[in-house]
Structure 1
Amino acid sequence: MAISSTTPPASRRRFLPAHAIAAALLAYAGSSIAQTTFDVIGPREYELPVDFKPFNVFVQYATIQDNDRVFDANGDKVDGSGSQLISGLSKYVRFWTPESNRKIGVAWEVIVPEVAIRNRQAPEGDRHISGLGDPLTGFAIWYKARPNLTLGFQSFLQVPVGTDRISDTNWKNLSSLFWDWRIGDKFGWTGDAGFVWQGTRDDGFKPAMSWHQNHRFAYRANRRLEPFLALDHERSGSKDGRPASWALDGGAGLMIHTFDNQSITLRYSTSLDGENHAVNDSFNLKYAYVW
């Protein structure tokens, strides 16, 4: 859900957070091109306030992923499909503090994935597949364990109503714990850890449970620039003859604090190790707007 790491206008500064809430899994057909769950998050993703007036956030994520390589069962990189995935996530989030307890914060969000898969090596008619993915909706709740430490929980339901050939055709639940730790004036650690449960697909296959964790280690160099390192891990169990899989991804990026209520985050990510999993080779963009 996390959204912006921008500073709110002075007239609303005590009510708006500089950052918003949790990202979400982009689900699309074909595990061979699946990205690690929640790898769209940026630094300060979960740096969230309590005791604030309601506000809104819009976020647009974009990813370009080249599927030239995959990890085989021995952990070796072999030729992949050669396809290119261009994807987006459009997200609206509403934030508020319950009147019954001003010491916690709550958010509800709706996320719509956009997907385009291009593969010149595919048969005619399959070289360009595009449409809307399965939408997600869910909530987050958090509190301040200390003034510099945010702890929370989030849960999303993914509904299989996306475009034909893009939809995974099954229901999903994505739930995780998340945290944000401000370490002095310059450093910060944002992260989450959770699972993805999936229902049965139209073809009768029910994917195994998967587990993930995501970490962003950032340094606020100045008022505008915040470079960071990213580390993502995901592991899925074996099911109905399909092998277990896992991947460890690393990346580097830069968050640009543009205006008081907006930010842009750029990141490159690649896979460091894995088995039976796509090799991440992606450029990622996030734009966030708070009002």
Structure 2
Amino acid sequence: MQRRHTKPTIRIRLACALAMLGAGCSMTAHAAGIPFATDRPQTWQFSSDFEGTYDSFGQNLDWNHDSRAFDAHGNQVAGPGTNTFVGLSTFIHYWKLPSLPHVGFNASITVPEIRSQGSQFSASGIGDPLIGGLVWYNPAPATTLGAQAYVQVPIGQNDVSTNTWSFWPSVFYDDWYGHVNVDLLLGGIIRGRTLRSGHDDLSPGNSFHLNLRVGYSISPPDNPFAIPFVGLDFQTSGGTFNQTAAMPVSNSASRETTVGVGVLFQFKPNSLPFVHQKMYDQLSIQYQHSVSGRNTTLTNGILVQAWHYW
């Protein structure tokens, strides 16, 4: 079958990426969206003060209106005009080892559900799952340091699959300073070659991302309920190399910086946030908007996530 050469284009947002206690989502080779953009305060807060094991399930929804985009010079231009909806369903299992009293582990699988619709473009389906886990350490009861790693497996439906194996490593930090929670993630995406029948073989560039959330607990931090927060997200991705044509794809490197505001609600009956984490629930909602970028659609969307722990 004859392969079609890839045309340079502004990246269309097919899926976001997020992490909440180790979640992630799909990104296509030409997709916009900053990884882990739906982080909120306490995303990376874990406690090692529990016995046995416990589990959590999260459902995340992201809507973005792709009416504007950044060109190769960072100027705003008309975007594809699509409305993109991304759902992320994540199951996580947590455990610890008696010989490591201040260390915990979890393993997870995240499955994205994607829909992008416009007058000249439409794509939908189940995206590529992320499988992996993390390890954390508590040097103090309210302080968390850790690292995680995930593999994105290109088995999603054709319209929304990356057709690319990728590896997602990152490190994280969470701590309380009085009523203030600081939550930080630094990571990247290392991508393999994109192989798709009828298309050129591509080597997409790797990515680096930063996700920062700063929240303020209105109630005492040992029993938080509502935590308004602000966020800063950044991503930069290298350019794509066309292996079939033996040449780089022009204007394929991208970057984006966004800011956001939101609120996290927590429902923890008769329990402190750092002790014996068992059944409780979390709900967050935030709005994000791009402040700068290049070769990507502009973020202008609402992100919601709900988690249940048991």
TM over 0.5: yes
CA deviation after TM superposition for structure 1 residue 48, in Å: 0.4
Q: Is the 8 A contact 1:191 1:213 kept in 2?
A: yes
Give the whole-Å Cα distance in 1 for the aligned partners of 2:19 and 2:99: 24
Deviations 1:188-216 (A, max 9, x none): 10010011011111241111111001000
Matches within 5 A, 1:167-178: 167-178=161-172
Aligned to 1:10: none
Aligned to 1:23: 23
Question: TM-score, normalization: structure 1?
Answer: 0.87
Match of 1:247 among 243, 251, 256: 256
Aligned to 1:57: 56
Aligned to 2:233: 232
* Gap change, CA 1:237 and 1:89, over 3 Å in 2: same
Q: Is the 8 A contact 2:19 2:37 kept in 1?
A: no
Match of 1:208 among 192, 205, 209: 205
CA deviation after TM superposition for structure 1 residue 2, in Å: 5.8
Matches within 5 A, 1:119-138: 119=118, 121-122=119-120, 127-138=121-132
Range with greater deviation from structure 2 (72-81 or 217-226): 217-226
Deviations 1:110-140 (A, max 9, x none): 1000001111x21xxxx54211000111010
Aligned to 2:44: 46
Q: CA RMSD in A?
A: 1.5
Aligned to 2:137: 143
Count of aligned pairs: 266
Give the aligned residue type for 2:163.
Answer: T
Aligned to 2:273: none
Aligned to 1:198: 191
* Gap change, CA 1:112 and 1:25, over 3 Å in 2: closer
Q: Is the 8 A contact 1:231 1:249 kept in 2?
A: yes
Partner SS, residue 257 of structure 1? strand
1:269 aligned onto 2:266:
no
Give the whole-Å Cα distance in 2 for the aligned partners of 1:158 and 1:100: 31
Give the whole-Å Cα distance in 1 for the aligned partners of 2:29 and 2:193: 14
Deviations 1:161-209 (A, max 9, x none): 001111011101111000101111x101001001101111124111111
CA deviation after TM superposition for structure 1 residue 262, in Å: 0.7
Give the whole-Å Cα distance in 2 for the aligned partners of 1:208 and 1:159: 17
Give the whole-Å Cα distance in 1 for the aligned partners of 2:22 and 2:75: 33
Give the whole-Å Cα distance in 2 for the aligned partners of 1:270 and 1:76: 15
1:288 aligned onto 2:307:
yes
CA deviation after TM superposition for structure 1 residue 24, in Å: 1.2
Which stretches in structure 1 are left out of the alignment for 5+ residues?
4-20
Question: TM-score, normalization: structure 2?
Answer: 0.82
Aligned to 1:257: 266
The percent of aligned pairs where both chains have the same amino acid is 28
Give the whole-Å Cα distance in 2 for the aligned partners of 1:83 and 1:76: 19
